[in-house]
Structure 1
């Protein structure tokens, strides 16, 4: 088990589920690792494990009620939310995830999650069918986009007698992941991220676009904020929610994205994850073009190169770019990195169900004198690996 790098104040939330008994061990392990722990339980959780059990292992009273006059006089829910360096909910039931995704604050635990500025981690635990249900997966994606970190779930035998994905991670694994994640290694750094595609108008109705969903860029912005960075996300058209703690600037065209990035006075790290259109229509029509049945020709002119502009700045930041290729991945990505002067490029294959509009991906990271392959994984996990690689490069 990893020892924490510094004293950490961990708020452990426990929702209703048979895996609640594992949360007692989790609290004990966190205390053994040197953390100060407070526990908040939902009403359903108290039917599986008593608050007294958590009080015994944490050494502190357990909170279960939002409107508790006696508790509020000592540490109200806002103060408790501010107290935490990190929040981990284990187990996180399907109901709890749904309520968090909906932004509800109908009990103490969900209220704390809305009120805290600390990173929130969920250790899901539920029946395999509940985990696989589209509603749960949609809630999962929403929470990830907002900056929540998922720890698990694991696969294996379940209390219901079925076998599959949905088991809560073992307490020791949660502690290792949690304490590895509760670090502020980008604290105070100015990070700018571009995400999503751009739309280049043909006329007031039609435009040239691509299949980028923005998921990777949004995951990177969320991860940077979780690590303490001051994050500006310049986003093309996207319905994804703004990650917690991130300043978002919405744009539509490549020229607008270029102008937005150029207007940012200071940046320590730039991540160009957007799929920016290389060309735009030279003279978009002012009126809707009518179908004539004849061939239509459009003159395309190059868009400004956003990454080249960042690289040429007098106060040049560390620059991370992306390359989406259908073939010759390593060759094309390596050439692109050198041609544009990037410090690190993240390359992935696209087409035939790869890369675009998916919650997961696989990446090849290339930098001067090194490379790293990241296996297929959730894009939030990949974002963490990208920043870990950034630290490796800058510390070598």
Structure 2
């Protein structure tokens, strides 16, 4: 029995290798998974040309996934450094890597990335267009923009950010409702500029059916980009953002009719008290399509620490319905991240995702924490390091300050509550001031 996409397979009752992989990773019944996929509530991004892929599912009832952004730019075009980041991200078990390259030999780097990565790969074709054609933005034709999408699809990209929601109608809403930060989406701002420079409709909206042709052919998941995402907390939940979200919901339905999988991208910068409402709005307006958020970053005043502001927002967002967190590094708003920035961003995003999975009651999510609690009760430091989300840092801290009693740490020493409770429970003397018997 033939199928065009993973969604088409699920609807036809065909169990693909990718569906099996996801069901096993999620400890989920295959029939339940396929039902969610058939309704568009779960996606399994899996381009037919990505041979190295170990498939992941994103959506309702599944573990919260994280994405790592990397890629070369004109100011920082060290391909070897970006490949080192790729290896690090894979080693840290990030479920997705987005190549945001926008300068130089982007296709060469993209092909190397796809060839080695078991993680799903995403791109933003709009970023690549200017360099791909070596033409100024205004002079790139609609057909050429679609051509970049097809090139990325042929190369094996599993999901693409397509900013199709910033159409003429949404642009008018934006013009009538001024913002403090205007647009901060790179792809969205480029398309808005193209529309104004050429006095034409957004080609990704106008020719959405042609994009669906490409995505169906290669089984590319569309990540419907939020050109109007808020770039500061003052711009969140405004008319532009909500109008675009409504448009994305309409586009999702069109994609599903063609068996093309869809994710919805979301904010952005947002105050804590607005996050829950925004998650519910996306679920309602976009018909429970998986939600992919950047943060949200919950305050604008912490440059250098936005992996923390993002993790706070991401944990809350995922608790209330977000399925996929785009990591944010300490370098956000400041520079292209280096290797350490990337590691810090991954750890922060993984903490947020796991904390949300506990809150959502994801099956077996608490098991990891319970294993750590058991290791701590036993004062088994090696087991603690093995279980830790970042064993290297945990071990480094421990070894930098060793206590007299090797079972404890230098915070409490022999007054350690765990040590002393263990002794009391075993009927032994505590011996805080004296040596052990």
TM-score scaled by length of structure 2: 0.29
Q: Which has the higher strand share?
A: 1
| Alignment TM-score, normalising by the size of structure 1 | 0.31
**Structure 1 or 2: more helix by fraction:** 2
